[in-house]
Copies of this chain bind each other. A is one copy, B any other.
Amino acid sequence: MTALIDSIGIVGAGHIGSSIARAVRQRGLARSIAIADASDTVCERVAALDLADAVSTDAAIVGDCDAVILCVPVGSMGAVGEIVGPRLKPGAILTDVGSVKAAVIAALAPHVPAHAHLVPAHPVAGLEHSGPDSGLAELFVNRWCIITPPPDADKAAVAKIEALWRGMGSNVEVMTPEHHDRVLAITSHVPHLIAYNIVGTASDLEKVTEKEVIKFSAGGFRDFTRIAASDPVMWRDIFLNNREAVLEMLGRFNEDLAALQRAIRWGDGEALLKLFTRTRAIRRGVIEAGQANAVPPVAIGPQADPGKPVAARRRAKA
């Protein structure tokens, strides 16, 4: 099997970066992988897990790769681009996995030389886990990767990135960065925000203890705690960098919630029933689109703990 790309560089070996490394290796999509991560500890784990042919805390290590994938928080893209961009060789492709696209393109574009290509992408996949140990080679299978090429993007470079994601098992869709940011605001960013928010609210009550909130979380709260266990820096950066779209969608959410609140106060059962019946259809759509499961169930540990160091996680009882 011929590799799709000769050498791939990955900057940031967290949940997504390390999943890409695993998928690329397992599927033979590149001949060599170089990984850079600012953290010594992460680099040690990358080496121990044998995820790459070369590992360094210096992002310059990926400079001569044919394709470089930035898997760092959205707010760090500019700084990493500043190191990597000027080192890109002629024909090299710079891509990323950021959950916000317009802001990332604005941060990266100035650093990409004319002889290289910027092809931003966003795999809509991932669990709440963090770190190189949490990566899964199957994470992108049957998930969508959205590519948001600039208007003047090199067609061959876009095709290569598309082939890379298809090679990892993803479906690919192309759209503008602005539309991406709007779609993700409602399907991902606002959901995360309200999950973070309710977990915060619940832990601040006086009349209900945190212990009770945890004990009786099986009534629905549990699912929100899972989402609210996602990486804090990654999510801070998403909200700061997709501000307009998030605030717009949040405005709609608040408007609708006020109507629901009013329906409850005035005992309007019909309005409640109407909404609750309508939302079931969306769930059916999600199931029919094959998007209802997080990842192939076999790939997830029974109760992996997102916040603890790896060793502690391995000791944790199911």
| Cα-based distance from A189 to B202 in the complex (angstroms) | 12
Candidates B200, B204, B223, B272; contact of A191 at CB < 8 Å: B223
Answer yes or no: A39 CB below 8 A from chain B CBs: no
Q: Are B196 and A194 in contact (CB under 8 A)?
A: no
Closest B residue to A248 using CB positions: B207
Q: Are B196 and A275 in contact (CB under 8 A)?
A: yes
- Given A200-B278, A220-B188, A279-B200, A214 and B264 contact (CB-CB distance below 8 Å): no
Q: Which of A40-48, A53-61, A288-296 contacts B (4 or more CB under 8 A)?
A: A288-296
Count residues on chain A whose CB falls below 8 Å from chain B CBs: 109
Q: Are B291 and A144 in contact (CB under 8 A)?
A: no
Determine the chain B residues whose CB is within 8 A of the CB of A290 once the complex forms: 303
Q: Are A220 and B191 in contact (CB under 8 A)?
A: yes
Q: Which of A3-11, A160-168, A254-262 contacts B (4 or more CB under 8 A)?
A: A254-262
Candidates B199, B239, B276; contact of A196 at CB < 8 Å: B276
Q: Mark A58-98, 1 if CB is under 8 A from B, else 0.
A: 00000000000000000100000000000000000000000
- Given A196-B276, A276-B235, A307-B284, A218 and B291 contact (CB-CB distance below 8 Å): yes
Candidates B146, B214, B257; contact of A216 at CB < 8 Å: B146
Determine the chain B residues whose CB is within 8 A of the CB of A152 once the complex forms: none
Candidates B128, B214, B220; contact of A285 at CB < 8 Å: B214
| Cα-based distance from A195 to B205 in the complex (angstroms) | 21
- Given A261-B247, A276-B232, A316-B287, A222 and B292 contact (CB-CB distance below 8 Å): yes
Shortest A260–chain B CB gap in Å is 6
Top 10 closest pairs, chain A to chain B, by CB: A188-B219, A232-B276, A229-B283, A228-B279, A191-B220, A214-B285, A187-B221, A199-B279, A280-B307, A225-B283
Chosen A-B contacts, 30 in total, with CB atoms closer than 8 Å, are A144-B215, A144-B218, A187-B202, A187-B219, A187-B221, A191-B219, A191-B224, A193-B257, A196-B260, A196-B276, A199-B279, A201-B256, A203-B282, A211-B285, A213-B282, A223-B226, A225-B279, A226-B292, A228-B282, A229-B283, A232-B277, A235-B272, A243-B267, A247-B261, A254-B254, A281-B307, A288-B316, A292-B303, A293-B303, A297-B302
A residues adjacent to B (C-beta < 8 A): 75, 99, 124-125, 128, 143-144, 146, 173, 179, 182-184, 186-205, 207-208, 210-230, 232-233, 235-237, 239-240, 243, 246-247, 249-250, 252-254, 256-257, 260-261, 264-265, 267, 269, 272-273, 275-294, 297, 302-303, 305-308, 316
Besides A198-B253, A203-B278, A211-B285, 17 new A-B residue pairs in contact (Cβ under 8 A), listed by A number: A75-B269, A179-B208, A182-B208, A187-B216, A187-B219, A194-B198, A197-B257, A199-B282, A214-B291, A217-B289, A225-B286, A230-B276, A232-B272, A240-B267, A240-B272, A247-B261, A287-B316
